[in-house]
């Protein structure tokens, strides 16, 4: 098992055994004596904007449904299961917001909807272009349903291959489709999760504060965002230094312009 899998198992067992202690089934939690492997630092590889635009173009050719998934992945920075779990009731194109409440996971071949990794919903603003794409996508889903004599379910999923939208797009299929899209786009080896890295690194690079980025990604604590993306902050540090330097230079210039006493 990978180190991350071992940590997940340790966390689940530790939580269960803590409950057993509270119920007085056990005197102590034996999982506390087990030391899980340390969290490794994986090098982040984020595609650049040109690469993402090409991926979105090829994904749209693969299928409109998957094209929408890739687009949302790039602008929301959401996890794969969260994208698959989006429902139309959580999309407000007029207010230009998307609320992420749940995620879809595959458990022994069955799709299960659960709360987010942070166990909290988050509302993310979207740009006008994405809002318009969602509006068109909803219209096309309505048209598809009417063409076969059904209506979209009241809690229909945004990304669904079912005519009534009652079943979510499968996360495993999203991964397989993305691999195919990457091969056709000339980026073999890219991962669907890289779209999340793209959103985070572009926002950090543009100077948005880490707390805002963390909120969009669904990190409970901004320190988690810093741990993952700290390597993308030096450029912003250089920009900060240049800004301070310009302020001081401006003061010096102004003093030079003052008449002699």
Q: What's the CATH code of the domain at 80?
A: 1.10.443.10
Q: Are residues 25 and 55 in the same domain?
A: no
- pLDDT computed for residue 261 by the predictor: 45
Cβ atoms of residues 185 and 177 within 8 Å:
no
What domain range is 27 assigned to? 3-33
Task: For residue 253, name the pLDDT band (cuts at 50, 70, 90).
Answer: low
Partnered with residue 123 across adjacent β-strands are: 99
pTM of the model: 0.79
Pairing mode of beta strands 110-115, 91-92: unpaired
**Nearest alpha carbon to residue 85 among 113, 122, 126, 121:** 113
Tell me which of 3-12, 35-44, 185-194 is least confident: 35-44
Which class for 199: exposed (0-12), middle (13-18), buried (19 or more C-beta within 10 A)?
buried
Q: How far is CA 78 from its chain centroid?
A: 2
Q: Are residues 26 and 150 in the same domain?
A: no
- pLDDT computed for residue 178 by the predictor: 97
Q: Is residue 11 pLDDT above 90, yes or no?
A: no
Domain membership flag for residue 192: yes
Q: Are residues 84 and 192 in the same domain?
A: yes
CA–CA gap between residue 185 and residue 55 (Å, rounded): 6
Q: Are residues 29 and 53 in the same domain?
A: no
Q: What is the mean pLDDT of the chain?
A: 90
Q: What is the pLDDT of residues 175-187, one digit of tens each?
A: 999 999 999 999 9
Tokens of 248: 């001081």
- Percent of the chain past pLDDT 70, that is, above it, reads 94
Cβ atoms of residues 229 and 200 within 8 Å:
yes
Tokens of 168: 């979510």
Between 99 and 257, name the one with better pLDDT.
99
Q: Are residues 77 and 145 in the same domain?
A: yes
Domain membership flag for residue 143: yes
Task: For residue 256, name the pLDDT band (cuts at 50, 70, 90).
Answer: low
**Nearest alpha carbon to residue 123 among 59, 212, 248, 223:** 212
Element (H, E) at 100: strand 97-100
- Count CB atoms within 10 A of the CB of residue 9: 14
Partnered with residue 104 across adjacent β-strands are: 113
Domain membership flag for residue 198: yes
Cβ atoms of residues 156 and 164 within 8 Å:
yes
Count how many domains the chain has. Answer: 2
Give the single-character DSSP code of 104.
E
**Nearest alpha carbon to residue 191 among 175, 209, 172, 210:** 175
């Amino acid at each position: 098992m990978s180190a991350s899998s071992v940590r997940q198992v340790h966390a689940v067992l530790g939580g269960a055994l803590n409950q057993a202690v509270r119920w007085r089934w056990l005197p102590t939690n034996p999982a506390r004596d087990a030391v899980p492997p340390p969290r490794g630092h994986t090098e982040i590889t984020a595609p650049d904007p040109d690469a993402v635009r090409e991926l979105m173009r090829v994904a749209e050719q693969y299928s409109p449904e998957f094209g929408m998934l890739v687009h949302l992945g790039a602008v929301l920075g959401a996890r794969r299961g969260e994208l698959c779990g989006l429902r139309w009731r959580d999309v407000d194109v007029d207010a230009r917001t998307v609320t992420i409440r749940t995620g879809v996971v595959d458990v022994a071949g069955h799709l299960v909807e659960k709360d987010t990794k942070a166990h909290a919903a988050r509302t993310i603003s979207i740009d006008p272009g994405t809002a318009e794409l969602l509006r068109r996508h909803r219209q096309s889903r309505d048209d598809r349903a009417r063409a076969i004599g059904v209506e979209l379910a009241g809690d229909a999923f945004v990304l669904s291959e079912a005519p009534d939208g009652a079943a979510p797009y499968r996360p495993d299929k999203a991964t397989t489709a993305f691999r195919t899209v990457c091969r056709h786009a000339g980026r073999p080896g890219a991962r669907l999760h890289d779209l999340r890295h793209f959103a985070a690194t572009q926002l950090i690079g543009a100077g948005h504060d880490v707390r805002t980025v963390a909120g969009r990604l669904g990190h409970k604590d901004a320190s988690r965002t810093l741990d993952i993306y700290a390597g993308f902050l030096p450029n912003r540090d250089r920009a900060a230094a240049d800004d301070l330097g310009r302020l001081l230079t401006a003061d010096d210039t102004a003093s030079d312009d003052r008449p002699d006493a």
